[in-house]
């Protein structure tokens, strides 16, 4: 009896193995290729097209998204503000007399333009002159609000502020970095110094010095300049994966959503956007993706890409992402038609977005997240997966 039982078990196991092998053989060739490529790696993969899942591999495993967080931030920004939103730097004062005199200090207030530099502030000085300002009896004050001046969050390493991200402020100046590349703690004062000099170069007298501090009450706008449209700012941010831009724009999003412009609230605003569109249970601590404590899934990211497909801003989002051989994809996938956001931390890699499938004749959505594997080895695997998708992915029948 024992021999018969053993034989029966052996036959059953053989039948299961043969059935599994037959099912695997019946899979499309491109799926079998990806199975072989990702086998044995700590990687999650999701592929689909407009709500239809074509391929899943550990799709619900939560992993750090690295700079794929910027992709989610971009969606949340576009959803909240629209592609045409601009961010201003305003010159404020209590009043300007008919003779063009500002009696007291002139204040400079930003609201989240990460690219304020010399040309923008020269235009502001010109706008003040055009508004009839001839004399400022006080000084020029760079306003230190309305964002919080926080420079750390959960999951950041202690050296990140020195090495990877400048202080994200509402009023920025030269990406808050000195000419020698050092991250600075006084961008508002430096912006004020520049505007004071620019005004005096135009013949506008400024009696006081340049400084930084909070704005007083009772101010009105005398002149202002605006940033390029949000779609352009995002293209600069996403193609080069600029952490500073992400945290400045993240604070702008957070202040609009929660009333508090902080790094942590930027993360909260991203997770709130996800939850509002059916992706819950994720963890978001920042806008840049520098936090090792962030958690996303490939299933959630692809779902949000599907949501984006139905939005009026989807082309803006896709255009903001690097193409093969471009931006952070330089040296990678040069002959692939792709629009995707990269992500890199120590032993973490990510790549999510759209790739054009020649077999399907359309853009398809995909997400790849890897954790616990050398990031450069992971990128090699990512590129192999994307090459298969571009050449042969099609809806399984």
Instruction: Please indicate, yes or no, whether residues 101 and 125 belong to a single structural domain of this protein.
Output: yes
Give 139's DSSP letter: -
Q: Are 341 and 356 in contact (CB under 8 A)?
A: no
Among residues 227, 245, 261, the one where a domain terminates is 227
* pLDDT range class, residue 26, cuts 50, 70, 90: confident
How many domains in the chain? 2
Residue 207 lies in a domain: yes
Residues recorded for the chain: 397
Q: Does residue 146 register a pLDDT over 80? A: yes
Instruction: Please indicate, yes or no, whether residues 220 and 248 belong to a single structural domain of this protein.
Output: no
SS3 (DSSP) at 316: helix
Q: Which CATH number is 63's domain given? A: 3.40.710.10
Residue 23 lies in a domain: no
Start-to-end C-alpha separation, the chain: 45
C-alpha to C-alpha distances, 113 to 34, 76, 85, 153, 278, nearest whole angstrom: 42, 17, 11, 21, 30
Task: Please state the rounded mean pLDDT for residues 37-54.
Answer: 97
Q: Are 316 and 71 in contact (CB under 8 A)?
A: no
The model's pLDDT over 291-302, given as tens digits with 9 standing for 90+, comes to: 999 999 999 999
pLDDT at 3: 54
Instruction: Please indicate, yes or no, whether residues 272 and 237 belong to a single structural domain of this protein.
Output: yes
Task: Give the range of the structural domain holding residue 287, as residue numbers without chain letter.
Answer: 30-83+231-392
Record the tokens describing residue 227, joined without a space: 């940033």
Of 25-34, 248-257, 271-280, where does mean pLDDT reach its minimum?
25-34
Residue 121 lies in a domain: yes
The model's pLDDT over 195-245, given as tens digits with 9 standing for 90+, comes to: 999 999 999 999 999 999 999 999 999 999 999 999 999 999 999 999 999
Instruction: Please indicate, yes or no, whether residues 279 and 350 belong to a single structural domain of this protein.
Output: yes
Instruction: Please indicate, yes or no, whether residues 63 and 158 belong to a single structural domain of this protein.
Output: no
Q: Does residue 25 register a pLDDT over 70? A: no
Instruction: Please indicate, yes or no, whether residues 128 and 223 belong to a single structural domain of this protein.
Output: yes
* pLDDT range class, residue 56, cuts 50, 70, 90: very high
Angle, vertex CA 375, rays to CA 372 and CA 377, nearest 5: 100
Which of these, 150, 359, 127, lies nearest to 261 by C-alpha position?
150
Give 296's DSSP letter: B
Instruction: Please indicate, yes or no, whether residues 223 and 271 belong to a single structural domain of this protein.
Output: no
How far apart CA 148 and CA 176 sit, in angstroms, is 15
Which of these, 225, 88, 199, lies nearest to 139 by C-alpha position?
199
3-state helix, strand, coil in the chain (%, to 5): 40, 20, 40
Record the tokens describing residue 293, joined without a space: 């404590």
Instruction: Please indicate, yes or no, whether residues 206 and 273 belong to a single structural domain of this protein.
Output: no
Q: Which residues contact 121 (CB under 8 A, 6 or more apart)?
A: 89, 173, 191, 194, 195, 198, 225
Residue 15 lies in a domain: no
Instruction: Please indicate, yes or no, whether residues 191 and 204 belong to a single structural domain of this protein.
Output: yes
Instruction: Please indicate, yes or no, whether residues 71 and 148 belong to a single structural domain of this protein.
Output: no
CA 110, 115, 118, 121 torsion-angle sign? negative
Cα 389 to chain centroid, rounded: 25
DSSP code string of 24-44:
HHHS-HHHHHHHHHHTTSSEE
Residue 5 lies in a domain: no
Among residues 193, 227, 261, the one where a domain terminates is 227
Among residues 227, 261, 291, the one where a domain terminates is 227
Task: Please state the rounded mean pLDDT for residues 305-333.
Answer: 98
Residue 18 lies in a domain: no
Q: Does residue 13 register a pLDDT over 90? A: no
pLDDT at 23: 45
Residue 369 lies in a domain: yes
How far apart CA 251 and CA 273 sit, in angstroms, is 15
How far apart CA 290 and CA 370 sit, in angstroms, is 15
* pLDDT range class, residue 397, cuts 50, 70, 90: confident
Q: Which CATH number is 172's domain given? A: 3.50.80.20
Q: Does residue 277 register a pLDDT over 80? A: yes
b/e for 232-271, b at 16 or more Cβ within 10 A? Answer: bbbbebbbebbbbbbbbbbbbbbbbbeebbbbbbbbbbbb
The mean pLDDT value of the chain amounts to: 94
Instruction: Please indicate, yes or no, whether residues 208 and 242 belong to a single structural domain of this protein.
Output: no
Q: Which residues contact 56 (CB under 8 A, 6 or more apart)?
A: 45, 46, 47, 299
Which of these, 304, 305, 311, lies nearest to 278 by C-alpha position?
304
Instruction: Please indicate, yes or no, whether residues 97 and 220 belong to a single structural domain of this protein.
Output: yes
The model's pLDDT over 63-115, given as tens digits with 9 standing for 90+, comes to: 999 999 999 999 999 999 999 999 999 999 999 999 999 999 999 999 999 99
Q: Are 266 and 148 in contact (CB under 8 A)?
A: no
Give 329's DSSP letter: G
Q: Does residue 14 register a pLDDT over 50? A: no
Q: Which residues contact 227 (CB under 8 A, 6 or more apart)?
A: 86, 87, 88, 113, 115, 116, 120, 233
Residue 380 lies in a domain: yes
According to DSSP, the β-strands at 101-102 and 135-136 are: parallel
């Amino acid at each position: 009896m024992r021999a018969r039982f053993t034989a029966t078990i052996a036959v059953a196991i053989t039948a299961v193995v043969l059935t599994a092998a037959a099912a695997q053989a019946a899979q499309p060739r491109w799926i079998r290729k990806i199975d072989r490529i990702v086998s044995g790696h700590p990687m999650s993969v999701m592929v689909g097209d407009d709500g239809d899942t074509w391929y899943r591999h550990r799709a619900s495993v939560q992993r750090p998204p690295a700079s794929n967080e910027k992709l989610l931030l971009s969606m949340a920004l576009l959803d909240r503000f629209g592609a045409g939103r601009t961010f201003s730097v305003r010159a404020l004062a209590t009043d300007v007399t008919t003779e063009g005199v500002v009696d007291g200090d002139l204040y400079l207030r930003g609201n989240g333009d990460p690219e304020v530099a010399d040309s923008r502030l020269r235009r502001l000085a010109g706008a003040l002159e055009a508004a009839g300002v001839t004399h400022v009896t006080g000084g020029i004050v760079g306003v230190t609000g309305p964002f919080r001046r926080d420079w750390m969050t959960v999951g950041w390493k202690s050296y990140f502020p020195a090495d990877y991200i400048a202080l994200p402020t509402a009023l920025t100046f030269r990406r808050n970095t000195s000419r020698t590349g050092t991250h600075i703690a006084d961008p508002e004062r430096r912006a004020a110094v520049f505007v004071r000099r620019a005004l005096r170069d135009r013949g506008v007298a400024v009696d006081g010095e340049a400084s930084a501090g909070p704005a007083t009450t009772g101010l009105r706008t005398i002149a202002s300049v605006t940033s390029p449209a949000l779609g352009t700012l995002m293209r600069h941010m996403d193609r080069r994966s600029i952490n500073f831009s992400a945290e400045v724009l993240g604070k702008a999003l957070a202040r609009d959503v929660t009333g508090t412009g902080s790094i942590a609230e930027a993360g909260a605003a991203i997770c709130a956007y996800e939850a509002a569109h059916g992706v819950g249970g994720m963890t978001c601590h920042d806008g840049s993706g520098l936090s090792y404590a962030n958690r996303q899934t490939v299933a959630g990211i692809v779902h949000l890409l599907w949501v984006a497909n139905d939005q009026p801003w989807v082309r803006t989002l896709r255009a903001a992402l690097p193409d093969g051989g471009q931006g952070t994809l330089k040296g990678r996938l040069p002959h692939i038609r792709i629009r995707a956001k990269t992500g890199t931390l120590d032993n973490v890699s990510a790549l999510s977005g759209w790739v054009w499938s020649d077999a399907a004749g359309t853009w398809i959505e995909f997400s790849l997240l890897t954790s616990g594997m050398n990031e450069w080895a992971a990128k090699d695997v990512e590129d192999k997966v994307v090459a298969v998708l571009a050449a042969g992915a099609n809806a399984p029948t």
